[in-house]
Amino acid sequence: MHVAIPLYPRFTALDAVGPYTVLGFAPGVTVTFVAAAPGPVTDDLGGLTLTATGAYAGLPHPDVIVVPGGPGTAEAMRDPQLRDWLVAARPRWTTSVCSGSLVLAAAGLLRGRRATSHWAVRDALAGFGAEPVEQRVVTDGPVITAAGVSAGIDMALTLLARLRDDETAQTVQLAIEYAPDPPFTAGSPRSAPPGLAERALTLIR
């Protein structure tokens, strides 16, 4: 089982690394970071660089694709190499984290499907023919989309249960001790204190 995670400049690190960790722990699963050409790709904060060890051309038909989001999404949506690869790959599962769903939508892969994204850009999915859904993880056919950043771990566990079984996903969840118990309830615009959404937007745009 081969999972490909495409990297592009100014991706959000946890969007890629969260699913990478979950899926990489699973027996029989290989995860490869890919890009137009192998080499280093720097994240949105500028302090972390991941290495794409493969190229799109070298992995034309992975079993799973996980597209991360980040401030670089706008450029990624216009990247013809990434778009063409996404369309031609026809993996068993196509997935995204955060604004990575906009990359899928721009490639025409979410038309007529329910999907989610980061709350700040979720409604933009409608402009590509998708149905925006306010959920942490949305599965529609062979496509799974996740809400913002940390939801990528939830998405990867959901995907792993589909790829293997619930027990395997639960085993990985325990191995990485994923038992969220945040100190605040400010994780969504609905539960955050008034005015916090505006401040949060200044951090991600």
| Class of domain 2-180 (CATH, top level) | alpha beta
Q: Residue 25 — φ and ψ, nearest 5°?
A: -75, -20
- The sheet with strand 64-67 has its strands ordered as 54-55, 30-35, 2-6, 64-67, 93-97, 143-146, 137-140
Tell me if residue 115 is catalytic: no
User: How do the pLDDT tens digits run along the chain, 205 residues long?
Assistant: 999 999 999 999 999 999 999 999 999 999 999 999 999 999 999 999 999 999 999 999 999 999 999 999 999 999 999 999 999 999 999 999 999 999 999 999 999 999 999 999 999 999 999 999 999 999 999 999 999 999 999 999 999 999 999 999 999 999 999 999 999 999 999 999 999 999 999 988 7
Helix (H) or strand (E) holding 174: helix 166-175
In the chain, domain spans: 2-180
Give CA separation, 140 vs 16, 95, 111, 125, 146, in Å. Answer: 21, 10, 11, 14, 12
Selecting among 17, 86, 98, 104, the annotated active-site residue is: 98
